[in-house]
Structure formats: C-alpha cells, structure tokens
A and B are shown apart, each in its own frame.
Chain A
C-alpha cells in the first residue's frame, strides 16, 4: 500500500525526575534498527522502559540524549503531531463523543482531504479490520475487541510511516487476544507497514514479530528472531522471561565456535554455547520440554532424583523433581502415553544435549 520506512534509535536515553527529586533512568542507551516493513516488539516486565521508548518515538517524551532517525533523518525537533506515526493506545483512547466513522476520519480530515476521499479511505480501512456496518456507533456501544479494531483502523487510516502499538491487547480476554494478534500480524504483512509493538506478554511478542527486543531495567538484553531468543537467550534474564527454564551450575571447558564441553554434575556433555562464554563456571539452560524422565536405564546423560509433584496436563505431564537439592521442572511428553511416575518415585531424568544452551554464569547476576 505505502512504501515502507526505516527507524533507527541511536543510544537513546531518558532520565526522569521524580517529584521527590530522585532521578530514574527509564531508558538507558537504547540502540535499535528497524528495517522497512519490519515488525519489531519491545518485550519486558513492567518498568523496563519499553513504553517510554515507544513514547519517545511517538514524540510524547523527549530523549535526554541520543538520536531517533526516521529514514535517516533526525526527528528530534519534529512535534508529535507532525511525525506521521499511527499509534494504538493501551486504553484505545477512542474519542467517546465521536462515532466510529468520525474517529477514523479524525486524522484524515486534519489532512484536508475531500469528503469523498475521507469516506472512501474510512470505508476501506473499516473493511480491512472487519468493522463494516458499525460506522454510526459510538465507542461506548462497542465491545472491547471492536473498540480495539477502531483504534487500529484510526491509526491505519492516516497511512502512517510507522505503526506504534502500546500493549494494545492487554485489556482483552485471552481468546480475543489470540484472535486479534494473528489479525494484526496478517494485516501488517499485507500492508508492509514498519511496526513497533510493546508488550509484556512473551507469547504475543513471539507470535507477532520478525524480531523481539528483550528489555530489562531500561537496557536492551537481547535482540533477535523469536526462535533465536528462545533457543539462544543471551542472558539468564532472557531465558527466564521468555518461557520457563531450569539452570544447572556447570563448568565449561573447550569453548569454541558456539559449542562447549560442560561438566554437569559429574557428567560431561557437548552443548551449544553463548559466543561470549569462557572456560570456567557457567549455567546450563534446560527448558522443561527439553528434559524428560528416563524410561530405560541406559540413557546418557542422566541424573537421579525424587518426584516431588506430578501433574497430568494432557499434552504433557509436568513433573517437579528434586535432584541434588535443586528443583527441576520437566514437561514430559513421553510420559503422557507411557509410564506415569508417582510422587516419591526415585527416577532418572535426562535432557537432549542439542536443545540446551550454556550461558555465562556472570549473567546470572543480572
């Protein structure tokens, strides 16, 4: 539909002054490149600076330092109403005194379009988000999902250079959230609009984005494709925040080319490793679904433990196993159809060495 635009953040920092006079660094040296037509998500817990970063791009906050470039041009001095960035707000921020049609037409009328053009674009946009027929309703007469679509249509109608989403689905129920996020993704793919999305929901981030930016404490922890941040987290924080993970203390030896030999509780295995890993103490990330309880006696590596709890979920059986004073979470697929272990059973458990990841132990501090 429109030609796409690129967005670059260079070392953007935002320091707030609290009313009590303390300073809070909400965003700390954020650097990021968003390519034309790319869908990037800022993911992190509340207070990690993701919303502040988004608002700086929209122009509602001014960076304390750093530069924001749109198509290579610094937009520091562009007021928010001239930035041509459509934003979808968490509270939707629909104008309650205007109809759906007028809400979507609001930005178009500001661009001095003819009435016919306004009507045409509003109609097109409403069809795009499956809202046709609701033109004359007021926002209060819409369901949450419909309100969200209006908010999206309103932002889309002005054909923004960049589309910004501030946790737009957090006020919807779980089912609707899943339905809408795939719609957003399809729409973005079809229109090819460069998009930046803020959320604290990792499933949302993974399913929507080309790339995920994991943030913590105002800093970027890792930038990567969803599979990459899941399989190869750069830090313990990322591993923990995206999905579940067990961390086994190991000693790394022979680190080379993304591989390392680690000694894990007296057993030695070769596993994928973080490029920054050095010989010495390290952490081995084991996702619950990458571990299982041994059905046979001869598997390697294998660790002994006692079942603390067993929950039959259906697709998996979720076990917690006490092994060397550490509680290990295991989501066992095999057990669903074969042998079910009981609480108190002495078991052996193992993991697939290709599906674990060795991290620097230093990052455990973070």
Chain B
C-alpha cells in the first residue's frame, strides 16, 4: 500500500530521517572553493532569463523570510532587549528555573531513550524476527496510529485508564496512583512519538545488506555475536539520530505536559504560562530562546547523523536474503514485548473510542451520542469545520512550496541554495510554541515600511480574518519541510540527464519541469500533501496562542474539554479528527492510485 511509503507517517520533524534511507541525502552540494561576486552575478542573471524560475525563487525566499525567519528574529529581538536580559539573569540564577530546565532535560532524555528503544524493538521484530505475517501487520499498523491522532489524545486516555480513579489502576487494582508527572509523561510521550524511530530504524534495518550478516555468520559468529558486532554498530548513527529527534520532540511538546504534567513543570509549560497566564511576552521570548537554541542545534545534528546512517552500506548490489531469527529463546520475549506494546496502543485508542460513546467512562457507562452531537452539530461543529477548512487550504500550499523549494535546492545553481533549504527546515526544527510567540510578536501589529502596510495585523483581537491567516501560515511552515525532504529525495533519484534530454530535444525549462520532472516527483508531492494535512489537523503547540474567539481549532477544543474534565467531548473530538484525517488520506491515496504507476517505475531507473 502506498501509505507505508508516504512520509505522512512521520510525526513531527521526521521526514528527513525516513526519506534519507531511500537515497543518500545531501544538505547541499559543496560550493566551489571561491565564490567570486562576478560568478554570483552571473548565476542570478542566468536565473533572471527564466522568469518562471525567478518567480519561484522569489516566492520561496519571501516565504522563508516572512513566515519563518521574521517571527524568529522578533522573538530573539524581544529576548535581547534590556527587559529580556533581566529575565535571562533570573532564569540563570533562580533555582526554580534550574529545576524547570533540569525537568525538561530529564524528560527529554527519558522519552528519547525509551522511545528509541521501543521503536527499535518493533523495527527489529518487524524486519529480523520470524513471526506470523498477520501479527507483524497488526504491530505495524498499530505503531502507525499515533501519527494521525493529536499528540495528547494518548494522555487523556491514559488518565482515564491509569489516573487516580483509573479504570485499571483503581478499577482493577484498587490503587490510587498518581499518573501526573514524569512517569506518566514518559509513557505517554513515548507512545506519541516512537513511531518516527520505528519507521526510520526499520527502514535502516531493511537497507542493511543481508550479506553483511552472512559474512559474520560465515566467519563463525553466532546470531547474538553478529547482532552485537555488526547490526548494532552499523545502526548506531540511525539510533543516535532517532534519539536526538525524539529528544527535540519531547522538549518541544506542549500538549502532553499541559494535560499530564501536574506539578512537573517543563520549559514548554512554563512558557505557555508566561504567555497565557501572565501575558509576559518578554519572559516567553527568553524561555523560547533557552528552548530554541539546543532544539535547533540537536535537530540539525540528528539530520547529519541520519544522512550518515543512510550511506553506511553501499558496495555492489545486495545479495542474499535475511535469515529471520527463529530461536524460540529470542523470538518469544521479542515478539511478546512487541505484541504487548501494540496491545497497549490498542487499549489506549480503544478507550478513546469507547469513551466517545458513553456518558462518562468509568463513572457512567451509559451509551450516548451526545458527545458526537456536541462535536458534529453543536458548539464543536464550528471548530471542526474551521480546522478542516484551514488545513485544506494549507495542504496544497505546503505541498507546492515543498516541491518548488526542493527543485530549487536540488537543481538550482545559485548562491543561497543551502540557506533556502535550512531556512525551510527551521519550520520544523523550531519547537511549535516558539512560532506561536514569534507570530504574536511579529504580527500583532501591521508590518509597515515607509508608511506602506506590507503585512496587516495577523494575530490577536481584530486580526485579519480572525487570525485565520496566521494559523494557515503556521500550518504551512510546519508541513512544508516534509514535502521538501520528500521532493529532494525524489529529485535526487532522477538523473539530471533525463531533464537534459528533454532540453536537448527542444523543450524549455518550464516545459521540461511540467512534462518530465513533475510527473516523476508526483508520488513525493502526494505524500507531502498527505503529511501536510495530517500535520495541520493535529498541530497543537504552534497555534495555541494564535486562536481567537472567531477561529476555533479542534486540537485546542480538545485541550479545553480535557482541562474542564469533559472527557467524553474530548474523546468524540479525537475520534472525529482521526476520522477526518483518515478519510482525506484515503481520498488522496485514491488519487495516487488513479495516476498511472509509470512515474514510480521511472523514478527507480538509475
């Protein structure tokens, strides 16, 4: 099925990871050692001769500058003000902040470690262990579920199951457990984010030449020795990259700590409190910077690692088949653990589903449709329609932008190509909350230059279109990187000679792009669309500060209902949201299915 290959399945910042397993990915080609201004001038003059090219470049550059860099610079500027310096001094001195930073680090490390472990276990079982095909399929599909649900859906279900009055902890064992805090967060965030690790590691495991294992076996190594000395070391860059990615995701996450953090405060929740509770944009900015710098650094470090991981084995053509592990002593614990995790996911989402159809799960288990009535027909309908509508607008924008930037990055010959790539990737490398603050700072007043309004007021009261424009912009910047990576991977697999052939036969650049390049990267385009829609529908942290009374967003409504204790409504929202995402994915996949398979075959031709 197409879905499996689509990068949609990567939650968060993952796309680079998985796609990079398909083709060696380069950040950019090395520039010539000397960059003379004459050469730069020549390059841009050559671009200008092709108006379409120039328009694409200008549009892409404007997008990166206005929607991504400007808000970030606004945040940095606010943090660098004298008021900001005072707050920064506070953050560095006061133990309460030390505590928060320590909490954030510990949580990040735990989630990254456990998540990578779970992802690796599932990937290993999937690729290397003998188990019934239906069981593997079941594990695979359940591992994908967290991608299409809003991040804190798991948290809500976990409270119902394992909280103080949890169906399982209290209902079955009669224990008054405290799920709030670090242990609960670790479990919930692991479940929310491990899919990325699972997908990238299974991709890498599949990519290992089976002959490597055979060579070790042939030289006398047992399975265990071979795993320790060959498989594991070769996956180290991949494991490292998953670890870093999960760390970045965990410390950036706002939804789960808000729902499940309790007294355990992390940077993201403190930041949220500063903005929403105290309306202190300066503190917010300073905390943003504290969160931003390590996040971005680690994100790009993991990107490099992922690139390394993908090129680790390539000599000659792979031969032989993977010999699956059949030793019962290994199979039973491995498959058992993987199945247990899959069943746990089923339990969590089953709880969501059941909870949506009863009055109050665990308290009053009467069947009811009033939750859905609320979401579909009542107060919630507006949020549902608004969110879907805005996501539907953001989806094609992000998809096209991703492909255009990918084309410029891979095929373009101009100075600033890597800057364009990196700038776009910031859209996902930067924690969403920080974009929220950045947008508030940058767009709460109209942006003017010499008395001319360049960008109208986009956020807060009386914003253009009730703030909808800002939200769509955030959706676009958060989803474009996935499309970009998919596009880059696809384009790098296409031999430039194919395009040159078209030009030599008399077609100009524009016609070549339309008739040759575009059909070849269409699968990447569609997977970018799917990802963009799923991402937009489930985004929380970036838009919490941007919603206004006029524009309500489903994820925020879920959060509100959860905080108000109306779990039934929250569950119904989650179910409806997942249903919408799945229907749209289904429709898009159908579209892909309708397009001829020729392009995918062609892409594979070396």
Please report A residues at the B interface, Cβ cutoff 8 Å: 51, 55, 58-60, 80-87, 89-98, 106-107, 110-111, 139, 144, 147, 154-155, 158, 166, 170-171
Contacts and interface: CB of A to CB of B under 8 A. Distances in A.
B453 interface: no
Nearest to B317: A91
A106 B321 CA distance: 22
Nearest to A142: B315
Contact of A80 (B211, B218, B234): B218
Contacts of B220: 81-82, 84, 107, 110-111, 158
B214 A91 contact: no
B599 to A, nearest CB: 25
A80 B312 contact: no
Contact of B219 (A60, A91, A92, A107): A107
A277 B70 CA distance: 88
A28 B233 CA distance: 39
Contacts, number: 94
Contact of A106 (B219, B236, B312, B319): B219
Interface string B279-317: 000000000000000000000000000000000110111
B229 interface: yes
Nearest to B214: A60
A110 B225 CA distance: 9
Nearest to B318: A91
Nearest to B234: A97
Interface in B535-574: none
Given A96-B313, A106-B221, 12 more contacts: A55-B320, A60-B320, A86-B219, A92-B315, A95-B212, A106-B219, A107-B219, A110-B225, A111-B220, A147-B315, A154-B215, A166-B319
B209 A93 contact: yes
26 contacts: A55-B320, A58-B214, A80-B217, A80-B218, A81-B217, A81-B219, A84-B220, A86-B219, A89-B215, A91-B316, A93-B209, A93-B212, A93-B215, A97-B312, A98-B233, A106-B216, A106-B221, A106-B229, A107-B220, A110-B225, A139-B315, A144-B315, A154-B215, A158-B219, A170-B316, A171-B316
Contacts of B219: 81, 86, 106-107, 110, 154-155, 158
A110 B317 CA distance: 27
Contacts of A60: 214, 217, 320-321, 323
Nearest to B216: A106
Contacts of A83: 218
A56 to B, nearest CB: 12
B316 A92 contact: yes
A86 to B, nearest CB: 7
A137 B407 CA distance: 37
B212 A87 contact: no
B320 A97 contact: no
Nearest to B212: A93
B368 interface: no
Interface in B187-225: 209, 211-212, 214-222, 225
B105 interface: no
B218 A86 contact: yes
Interface residues of B, number: 28
A90 B219 CA distance: 16
Contact of A96 (B217, B222, B234, B316): B234
A176 B372 CA distance: 72
Looking at B209, B214, B217, B316, which has the most chain A CB atoms within 10 Å of its CB? Answer: B316
B218 A85 contact: yes
Given A81-B222, A95-B230, A106-B229, A90 B319 contact: yes
Question: Which A-B residue pairs are the 3 nearest by beta carbons?
Answer: A107-B219, A91-B316, A93-B211
B287 to A, nearest CB: 40
Contacts of B320: 55, 60, 89
Contacts of A93: 209, 211-212, 214-215
Contacts of A91: 209, 211, 315-319
A95 B320 CA distance: 16
A226 B320 CA distance: 29
Contacts of A107: 219-221
A309 B236 CA distance: 60
A80 B214 contact: yes
A313 to B, nearest CB: 32
A58 B225 contact: no
Given A110-B220, A139-B315, A89 B233 contact: no
Contacts of B222: 81
Contacts of A81: 217-222
A85 B316 CA distance: 22
Nearest to B313: A96
B221 A90 contact: no
B212 to A, nearest CB: 5
Contacts of B230: 95
Nearest to B213: A93
A7 B515 CA distance: 59
**Among the interface residues B217, B219, B220, which one has the most CB atoms of the partner chain A within 10 A?**
B219
A89 B217 CA distance: 12
Nearest to A83: B218
B317 A89 contact: no
Nearest to A97: B233
Contacts of A144: 315
A7 to B, nearest CB: 15
A167 to B, nearest CB: 8
Contacts of A147: 315
A32 to B, nearest CB: 20
Nearest to B230: A95
B461 to A, nearest CB: 58
A103 B117 CA distance: 28
A89 B215 CA distance: 8
Interface in B250-292: none
Nearest to B218: A87
B221 A94 contact: no
Contact of B319 (A84, A85, A89): A89
Among A51, A90, A171, chain B packs the most CB atoms within 10 A around the CB of A90
Contacts of B236: 97
Contacts of A89: 211, 214-215, 319-320
Given A82-B220, A154-B219, A158-B220, A94 B214 contact: no
A97 B211 CA distance: 15
Interface in B130-171: none
Nearest to B223: A81
Contacts of A96: 234, 312-313
A303 to B, nearest CB: 46
A88 B188 CA distance: 48
Contacts of B211: 89-91, 93
B282 to A, nearest CB: 48
B315 A171 contact: yes
